Amino acid sequence: MLYNLNYIYPTFAIIIKHRLATLRVKAIRLEHLYALLLHSAEKIQPATLHPHWRHKMYKITNLPFAAQKLTFAPMLILDGKIASRAVIDTLKTEVEQIKLTGKRTPHLAAILIGNNGASETYVASKVKHCDEIGFGSTLIRLADNISEAELIATITELNNNDAIDGILVQLPLPKHISEQNIIMAINPAKDVDGFHPVSVGKLVQGLPTFIPATPYGIMLMLEHFNITTKGKHAVVIGRSNIVGRPMSILLSSNQPYGNCTVTVCHSHTPNLNEICLQGDIIVAALGRAEFVKANMVKEGAVVIDVGITRVEDPTAKKGYRIKGDVAYNEVAPRTSAITPVPGGVGLMTIAGLMKNTLQAYKAIGK
């Protein structure tokens, strides 16, 4: 019998891809089952569990099912891969439409200073996403001994270049350069990071503007998973200009996925645990690995973990692991929805940046 290899090979590839995807989903389910077990093993009432889970639980733990009361509510994983994919795919379609009209495509310029490993990774991912969507991108690498004046001159060139729609300067900057002066040097019309005071002022007043990419990404995630925010008490831990402060403004704004009553916490907040316990929604953006513990989280809360901290771990391939600000394994079972780290807010940040770039293009491009 003759086989058409052109047909068979792609078929095998599809089967294998599908198999891998199934295994991944199983791994994620197992991970959350473990989280549930760790937290409430002694409280589980197996009769209330779906038979599928009862069976799995028995297989994994051999737990004697003489338990008392089940406090577990089904928990939704706010998967950044899924939500960001939806945003990226929409942007791709828009760019295809732009190309069909023969117009130039949106273009993002990124400035990377020095050799910070994390910054290299973030910028590479931004460039990769531009490629995928169909945006043009320019990466400008500068030595970390560049002067502030030289950096401002580079930004000014980009400001004056009509082919560039968005400009971002990857933070942090070397100590001898003022972050504020650099942010101020960017033309607000190209400020796709949303850090310029003009952008921030508009955000505060509820006017259309560039929303800083991470809070923007979180809002897109809330929208994607249709998380109810109206009338909820949101606790934001952290008040940085990049995450905490704009997040608190967005959540308190009179807009879809806003209308929360917001409490902003910082390093001088006394009784942080008690305040967190009142939160229907907690946004943890403080940069302290696994800071938010189960005893700080109300049953059924929505938890958004912004933190990214590299924690040394000699058993890890890279010598470190990425940890969020939330102790995921113990907190997840108490929540109604939670973002994983990695695979949560980080991916949404890029989606937010990409949306801002298209917005800048629409306003000044063509």
Nearer Cβ to ligand NAP (161/240) = 240
Selection from 151, 139, 285 nearest residue 212 by Cα = 285
Q: How many residues bind ligand NAP (CB under 6 A)?
A: 25
Q: Nearest distance from residue 186's CB to ligand NAP, in Å?
A: 18
b/e map 298-327, b = 16+ CB within 10 Å: beebbbbbbbbbeeeeeeeeeeeebbbbbb
Catalytic, 193? Answer yes
Q: To which residue do tokens 């000044």 refer?
A: 364
Nearest approach, Cβ of residue 276 and ligand NAP (Å)? 10
Q: Is 345 in the site for ligand NAP (CB under 6 A)?
A: yes
Sorted by sequence, the CB contacts under 8 Å of residue 87 that are 6+ apart come out as 220, 224, 348, 351, 354, 355
187 vs 309, beta carbon nearer ligand NAP: 309
Binding test (CB under 6 A) with ligand NAP, winner from 90, 105, 161, 240: 240
Closer to ligand NAP by Cβ: residue 344 or 365: 344
238 binds ligand NAP (CB under 6 A): yes
The yes-or-no answer on residue 280 being catalytic is no
Q: Is the Cβ of residue 59 or residue 175 nearer to ligand NAP in the bound state?
A: 175
Q: Measure Cα distances from 16 to 9, 20, 28, 211, 232 in Å.
A: 11, 6, 18, 40, 44
Q: How many helices (H) and strands (E) does the chain have?
A: 12, 11
Selected catalytic residue, list 126, 298, 323, 355: 126
Judge whether 170 counts as a catalytic residue.
yes
DSSP per residue, 46-95: GGGS-HHHHHHHHHHH--------------EE--HHHHHHHHHHHHHHHH
What is the footprint of ligand NAP within residues 302-341 (CB under 6 A)?
306-309
Q: Which residue stretch of 25-33, 65-73, 155-163, 268-276 sits at the interface with ligand NAP (rule: CB under 6 A)?
A: 268-276
Q: How far apart are CA 292 and CA 273, in angstroms?
A: 9
Q: How is the beta sheet containing 233-237 ordered, strand by strand?
A: 76-77, 337-338, 302-305, 281-284, 233-237, 261-265
**Binders in 214-233 for ligand NAP, by CB under 6 A:** 214
8 A C-beta contact, residue 141 and residue 120: no
| 134 touching ligand NAP, by CB under 6 A | no
Select which of 79, 165, 191, 193 is catalytic.
193
Q: Residue 83, interface with ligand NAP (CB under 6 A)? A: no
Q: Which amino acid is at 324?
A: G
Candidate list 39, 107, 129, 239; residue touching ligand NAP; CB under 6 A: 239
| Residues tagged active-site | 126, 170, 193
Q: List interacting residues with ligand NAP (CB under 6 A).
A: 214, 237-240, 242-244, 265-269, 272, 285-288, 306-309, 345-346, 349
